[in-house]
Structure 1
Amino acid sequence: MLSLSDRIRYDGREDTVFAPHGTSVRLVDDAHAASVVLLGHLVSSDGFAVVRAGSVRPVMGDPGALKGLPEDVTDRVRW
């Protein structure tokens, strides 16, 4: 499965996964140009490969949204 910030190769180009979403994937190239590709097309294309697994974790929004929740719940959410 593709994850945020994975570096991928497909159809002779390299892009970074910006937003995997259902059956489509938003990609960004080195010039910061965005594109959207169907996941099926992406993984079945000639030369598809994950060049480097991403290291970016999604950033949680307002931490105040967790106020009042049990500690075991907030620990799982923050992970």
Structure 2
Amino acid sequence: MGTHVFEHRGYEIAVQPEQNAYGAWQAKVSVRRADSPVVEFRPETVQPEWLTQDEAVRDGIEWGTRFVDHKLEESHNPM
């Protein structure tokens, strides 16, 4: 159950799969700019539960990449 680290558009996405008390898998996700110590975590709200560790990792990666894409779109299109 190690941490999986991915680069996406200048950001580092770290995904750590964890099993909950019921045996389902969830992903803890943190995102940071590659050149910055600032870390943003996936909110600890209701998250999907997965049957396998691989599914949780995939979900974490997808969430992280969507978060980065949204953050970059906001910085290019301020209201």
| TM-score, length basis structure 2 | 0.31
Higher relative helix content = 2
| TM-score, length basis structure 1 | 0.31
